[in-house]
Amino acid sequence: MDCLFCKIIAGEIPSTKVYEDERVFAFRDINPQAPVHVLIVPRRHIASADAIDAGNSADVAAVFEAVPKIAKQEGLANGYRVINNCGEDGCQTVKHLHFHLLGGRKLPEQMG
């Protein structure tokens, strides 16, 4: 499958890994929007949040279980933001479900 994040997970394209487990892979965003900007993805290809269903939601749950572990590892004791962009209107550019973990400074209130 011609998917950038599948290739990153497979190690075919380099990334800076920050966390991995059986279901989850996390790496630094190449164009960071905050001092900490990590992308957390399910290893299994899910195209977007709009493709989440009962058959793959365990992988999504695993992503969210990883969030506080990665936040702790990254020193985000003062809080952080988790963002998903979905589809055209959500400005999703990579069609493999991913959650942005942003922190390390006070983030802007507005995001819409």
Could you give the residue numbers annotated as active site? 98
Question: Does residue 31 touch ligand AMP according to CB under 6 A?
Answer: yes
Question: Does residue 110 touch ligand AMP according to CB under 6 A?
Answer: no
Among 91, 106, 109, 111, which residue interacts with ligand AMP (rule: CB under 6 A)?
91
Question: Does residue 52 touch Zn ion according to CB under 5 A?
Answer: no
d(CA 5, CA 12): 10
Question: Does residue 111 touch ligand AMP according to CB under 6 A?
Answer: no
Judged by CB under 5 A, the stretch of 18-26, 37-45, 61-69, 99-107 that binds Zn ion is: 37-45
Q: Of 30, 29, 23, which is closest to residue 46 (Cα–Cα)? A: 23
Instruction: List Cβ neighbours of 103 (8 Å cut-off, separation of 6 or more).
Output: 34, 35, 36, 71, 74, 76, 78, 79, 80, 81
Nearer to ligand AMP, 42 or 54 (CB): 42
Residue type, 11: G
d(CA 49, CA 69): 22
Question: Does residue 85 touch ligand AMP according to CB under 6 A?
Answer: yes
Residue numbers at the binding site for ligand AMP (CB under 6 A): 4, 13, 15, 29-31, 39, 85, 91-94
